[in-house]
Amino acid sequence: MKDFAGRTAFVTGGANGVGIGLVRALLAQGCNVAIADIRPASIDAALRALDNPRAMGVEVDVSSRQDLARAAEAVEAKFGIVSLLFNNAGVNLFQTVEESSYDDWDWLMGVNLHGPINGVMTFVPRMIRAGQGGYVVNTASMAAFLAAGVCGIYNTTKFAVRGLSESLRASLAPHGIGVSVLCPGLVKSYIYASDEVRPTGLKAGAKPVNTENVKRLAAVHEFGMEPDVIAARVLEAMREDRFHIFTHPEFKDELSEVFGEIMQDFRDYPVDPGHGQRTDFEKTRRESYRKQRRGLKAS
C-alpha cells in the first residue's frame, strides 16, 4: 500500500487505545476515517479532539452483522468506498477457561473473532467490486502466539484471528488487497476496563469484577507502548506489504524459544504405507502455499 491519500479507512475500536492512534496516523496521511466504536461518549470525545472534517463517527457493536452493514452504508454514503479496513476492536478477560462461562465465551468470541469476521464479510466484497485494491489489518496480539492459562478465551480468539488473516492474505492478493496481522505487546490503552462495554445480555455468567485486579492492570498498561508509535509501525508495515506486524521487538527471543519448542515435538517415526504418495502430494501443496504466502498466484 503506497497511496493512502484520499482513501477511506474504517477503524473498529477507533475511539481509544490502538484504534485512536491508527485514526490519527491515517488522517495525517490524507485519508477519510470512520471511527467505529461501541462507546458513543468516546467517539464524541475523539471527534472533538481531532476536529477534522475527514473524520466521522459511527456507533457499532462489531459482533453485530447488522451494525456493520448499516455502518458500511453510512460511511460509504459520506466518504465513498472503504478500501482500508482495520478490524481492531477487542476486549479481554483475565481468567482461565475452566473458570469461565458460556457468556464469557460468547462475549469475547463475539467481539474479538466475530468482529473481524463481520468486518471482512461486510467490506471485502465491496472492496473487490470497487476494484481499487486496498488493505485489511486485523489486530491480534502477541497472545496469538504466546499462550498461558490466564487468558484462555482471549488466546483462542487471537490465534483464530491469525489464521483468518493468513488465509485471507493468500486469497486477496490477486485482488490487489493486502492483509497484515497486528501483534502488539503491552499498549497504553483501556483494555483493562473492557467490562464497561460487556452487553447486558451476557452479564449473567460473568464473575464479579475484581476491582483490585483492574487497578493493577491499569497501572501495568500505563507503561504500554503509545498508540501513535504502534500506528506508525502499522503504516510502515503496510507500505512494505509485511504480513506480521510485530511492534514490540522485545518478544523476538521468546517467539524464537517457542518455535524451537514446537519443533521439538516432532518425532522421526518409521515410514508407514502411503508415505511416498503423501510426500509427493505435500510437495505440490507446499510449493503452492509458499507462492501464496509470497503473494504469487498458485498454479
Ligand X SMILES: NC(=O)c1ccc[n+]([C@@H]2O[C@H](COP(=O)([O-])OP(=O)(O)OC[C@H]3O[C@@H](n4cnc5c(N)ncnc54)[C@H](O)[C@@H]3O)[C@@H](O)[C@H]2O)c1
Verify binding: residue 292, ligand X, rule CB under 6 A: no
Angle at 93 between CA 92 and CA 97, to 5 degrees: 125
Residue 75 or 173 with smaller CB distance to ligand X = 75
Verify binding: residue 75, ligand X, rule CB under 6 A: no
Verify binding: residue 63, ligand X, rule CB under 6 A: yes
Residue 8 or 194 with smaller CB distance to ligand X = 194
User: Which 185-204 positions form the footprint of ligand X (CB under 6 A)?
Assistant: 186-187, 189-191, 197
User: Which 137-166 positions form the footprint of ligand X (CB under 6 A)?
Assistant: 139, 141
Going by DSSP bridges, is the β-strand pair 134-139/82-87 parallel, antiparallel, or unpaired? parallel
Q: Are 23 and 46 in contact (CB under 8 A)?
A: yes
User: Which 89-118 positions form the footprint of ligand X (CB under 6 A)?
Assistant: 89-91, 111
What is the dihedral angle through the alpha carbons of 249, 150, 197, 245, rounded to the nearest 10 degrees? 20
Amino acid at 100: S
Residue 43 or 127 with smaller CB distance to ligand X = 43
User: Which 225-284 positions form the footprint of ligand X (CB under 6 A)?
Assistant: none
SS3 187: strand
The window from 88-96, 118-126, 259-267, 290-298 that contacts ligand X (CB under 6 A) reads 88-96
Contacts of 167 (CB under 8 A, 6+ apart): none
What does the chain come to in residues?
Answer: 299
The CA distance from 278 to 276, in Å, is 5
Nearest distance in Å: CB 132, ligand X: 26
DSSP result, 73-98: HHHHHHH--EEEEEE-------S-GG
Nearest distance in Å: CB 134, ligand X: 20
Pick the catalytic residue from 135, 154, 190, 289.
154
Amino acid at 57: G
Our answer to whether residue 154 is catalytic in this structure is: yes
Helices H, strands E: what count in the chain?
A: 10, 7
> Taking Cα atoms as reference points, which of 248, 58, 56 lies closest to residue 144?
248
Residue 32 or 139 with smaller CB distance to ligand X = 139
Residue 139 or 180 with smaller CB distance to ligand X = 139
Contact with ligand X (CB under 6 A) among 61, 84, 152, 164 = 61
Grid cell at residue 39: 462507546
Report, as residue numbers or ranges, the catalytic residues: 154
Interface with ligand X (CB under 6 A): 12-13, 15-19, 37-39, 42, 60-63, 88-91, 111, 139, 141, 184, 186-187, 189-191, 197, 221, 224
